[in-house]
Amino acid sequence: MSKRLLVVCPFACYPSTHGGKLDIYNSLIQLASVELNICVDLLYCDYEKQSSAADSHLKKYAGINEIHFLQIKKNKFLSLLYLFYYKPNYSMLYRCLADFKPEQQYDYILIHGFHADSILENVNLTSARFFYRMHNYEYAYSMQKIPLEKNLLMKLLRLYDNLKIKFREKWLIAKTEKVLCISSEEYKFFSASYGKKIYFLPTYLDTSKFVSFKNSNKPHPIVLFVGNLFTLYNKEALIWYLENIHGRIKSSISDYKFIIAGSTAGSDTKWLQDIIQKDKHINVYFNVEDMAAIYQMAKVFVNPMQNGAGVKLKTLDGIINGIPVVSTTVGASGTGLSHRAHCLIADSINEFCNAVILLLQDASLARSLVDNGQQYLKEKFCSLAILDTIYD
C-alpha cells in the first residue's frame, strides 16, 4: 500500500516565476522520477487560484494526485493586531493553513519554505511526520533587508518583526523531524546545532534540460540578467550593475547589449523604467513564459546579488542554459561553484566589469566554464538516491 505525502507551499509553484517556486516545482519533478511508492498531494496558498492548465501540468508531469487551494486575504486591521502578537507579521496571511481540513490522513507533510509553518498548528494532521524544506535561513535573510529600508519607522518595525522570526524559526526546526537545506552553507551552519536532523538536499536539476555551449550563433556581445523584478535584493542587484558596470562595458564594447528578463507579479516597474530610459543598450522583457529564445541570445549571464540567503537558482540557470556566468560571492553562495572552475566570481566593480568583458571576448574560457559547470551540476544536483533516506 502506498504512503501519502502532502506538499505544503505558501504560493502556487507553476509557472515558476522565482527561485522559491522553481525549487518546489523541481522537488515535485524529483519525487515523480523515483519509485518511492508515495502518493503526492499538493496544498498551496495564494491570492488567486492557479489556472486549470497549471493544475493539469502538475498532475501530468509532476505526478500530483490532488491539488488543494487556500485563498490568502489581506486584512489591515489584523496586520496592526499582529504588531502586538508573538508571531511574525506574515503569519496573519497564512493562518488559513492551520484550519485546513484534509479528506484523508497523511504519512508525511513536507513544508516548503518558512512561511508555510502554520500547517504545524493544524490539529487535523497530528499523525503525520513533518519535514521542513528550508529555502533560506529566514532570520539572516530578513536582517539583510533592514539596511535597504529607507524609512526609519519601517526599519524599527522590521527589526521588531525579525526578532519574532528568529524565535519562530527555532520553533519550526524543533517541531519538524527532518530539515532539508537547499544551501550547502546553511546545511553546515544548522548541522552544528541540530545534528543529524539536518540534511543537504540541493534543488533537483533535470539533465534533459541542459543546453550545450554554443557561441558561433551568438554574434553580438549580449549580457543577460534573469530574476524577479519585485524583491528588494534583485532590485538592489540590478541597480548596482546598471550604475557601476553597465556604463563601463558600454564604453569598452560599442555593440554591447544588456538584457533584463523577469517577472513583475503585478508590481510597479517605474523604478526600473526611470533608470534605463533612453538607453539603447538595454532591452527589458517582462513576464516571459518561455525563456529559451532569450537564453539563446546571451553570451554572458550575470548575477550581481549583493545580499540574500539560500541558493540563488538564477546562477544555476545560466550554466544549465549553456551560458558562462559572472557572479558575486553572494550570488554563488550555497552552490559550491568555484571561481575559474565553474564560473567567474567577482565582488568589486573593477573585477566584475573585467570578468564580463573577458567572457565576452574569450570563447575558449567561456566554453570551459560551461562544460565544467554543467558536469559539476550533474554530479551534485541531479541525484535521486537521497530521497530513499529521507522518506524511509
DSSP string, 331-379: HHTTT---BTTTBEE--SHHHHHHHHHHHHH-HHHHHHHHHHHHHHHHH
In a domain, 387, yes or no: no
Whether residue 158 is found in the same domain as residue 278: no
Pair (195, 277) in one structural domain:
no
Whether residue 216 has pLDDT greater than 70: no
Q: What is the mean pLDDT of the chain?
A: 90
Closest CA to 9 of 122, 23, 139, 265: 23
Judgement on whether residues 193 and 259 belong to the same structural domain of the protein: no
Q: Do 236 and 134 share a structural domain? A: no
In a domain, 385, yes or no: no
Is residue 361 assigned to a domain? yes
- pLDDT tens-place string over residues 265-305: 777 888 888 778 878 999 999 888 788 899 999 999 999 99
Transcribe 259-271 into DSSP letters.
EEEE--TT---HH
Q: Has residue 384 been placed in a domain?
A: no
The torsion of the CA quartet 91, 94, 310, 365, rounded to 10 degrees, works out to -140
Q: How many CB atoms lie within 10 A of CB 320?
A: 21
| Amino acid 287: pLDDT | 83
Give domain status of residue 375, yes or no. Answer: yes
Answer for the pair 142, 167: CB distance below 8 angstroms, yes or no.
no
Contact 50, 156 (CB under 8 A): no
pLDDT score recorded for residue 384: 79
Domain CATH for 276:
3.40.50.2000
Evaluate whether residue 139 is within a structural domain. yes
Last residue of a domain, one of 156, 185, 204: 204
> Which range of residues forms the domain containing residue 29?
3-204
> pLDDT value at position 210?
94
Residues 125 and 224 in one domain: no
The answer to whether residues 117 and 226 belong to one domain is no
Whether residues 220 and 139 fall in one domain: no
Tell me which residue of 261, 245, 248 sits closest to 304, measured CA to CA.
Answer: 245
Nearest to 106 by CA among 94, 122, 117: 122
pLDDT of 150 strictly over 90: no
Let me know if residue 364 belongs to a domain: yes
Cell numbers found for residue 392: 524511509
Task: In whole angstroms, give the CA distance from residue 362 to residue 365.
Answer: 6
Whether 349 shows a pLDDT value over 80: the answer reads yes
Q: What integer is the mean pLDDT of 351-359?
A: 98
92-140 pLDDT, tens digit per residue, is 889 999 999 998 999 999 999 999 999 999 999 988 999 999 998 999 8
The answer to whether residue 195 sits within a structural domain is: yes
- pLDDT at position 296: 93
Q: The sheet that has 257-262: what strands, in order across it?
A: 282-286, 257-262, 222-226, 300-303, 325-327, 344-345
Q: What is the spatial order of strands in the sheet that 198-200 belongs to?
A: 64-71, 38-46, 3-9, 108-112, 129-134, 178-181, 198-200
Of the three residues 137, 172, 204, the one that is the final residue of a domain is: 204
Q: What Cα–Cα distance (Å) separates residue 144 from each residue in 98, 108, 185?
A: 29, 33, 17
Same domain, 271 and 131: no
E strand segments, 207-312 = 222-226, 257-262, 282-286, 300-303
> Domains in the chain: how many in total?
2
Res 382 pLDDT > 90:
no
> Which region holds residue 56: left if phi is over 0, alpha if psi is between -120 and 50, else beta?
alpha
Give the residue from 128, 111, 125 showing the smallest Cα distance to 168.
111
pLDDT of residue 309: 67
Tens of pLDDT, residue by residue over 27-72, are 999 899 887 889 999 999 998 999 999 999 999 999 999 999 999 9
- Dihedrals phi, psi of 15, to nearest 5 degrees: -65, 150
Name the domain boundary from 204, 236, 263: 204
Distance CA 279, CA 2 (A): 58
Map 294-309 to HEC letters. Answer: HHHHCCEEEECCCCCC
- Are 226 and 330 within one domain? yes
